Amino acid sequence: DQQVKQNSPSLSVQEGRISILNCDYTNSMFDYFLWYKKYPAEGPTFLISISSIKDKNEDGRFTVFLNKSAKHLSLHIVPSQPGDSAVYFCAASANMNTGRRALTFGSGTRLQVQP
């Protein structure tokens, strides 16, 4: 049962254009969402996050949008650069009974930015 889904395994965009990566979740208890970026042979690196009390968070070229009613979030990269080519993972967390938050990851979307 995949609680966090990234339905597009890959995405290709032209340099300078917008990249939009999508993520859907099913667990209504999730209240904190993160995006990680992963290059080959490296571990994922934290990119940007958003709390469920917000619907948008922006950090430079990266903006994450959250639509709670649709249980959907998206990551926008504008403008896209060749160095953005990587696998992007969406992750969600919920406050557990123990007070512990556990992260649930999507399967990732491979972004390729063409020069």
Summarize as ranges the residues that interact with other proteins (CB under 8 A). Answer: 6, 9, 32, 34, 36, 41-46, 49, 51, 89, 91, 93, 96, 98, 100-108
Closest C-alpha among 114, 111, 104 to residue 19: 111
Would you say 49 or 79 has its CB closer to other proteins? 49
Q: Detail the DSSP E strand segments found in 15-61.
A: 19-25, 32-38, 45-51, 56-59
Listed in sequence order, the residues at least 6 apart from 60 whose beta carbon sits closer than 8 Å to its beta carbon are: none
**Paired residues of 6 in beta bridges:** none
CB of 87 to other proteins, least distance (A): 9
CB of 20 to other proteins, least distance (A): 19
Q: How far is the CB of 29 from other proteins (least distance, A)?
A: 15
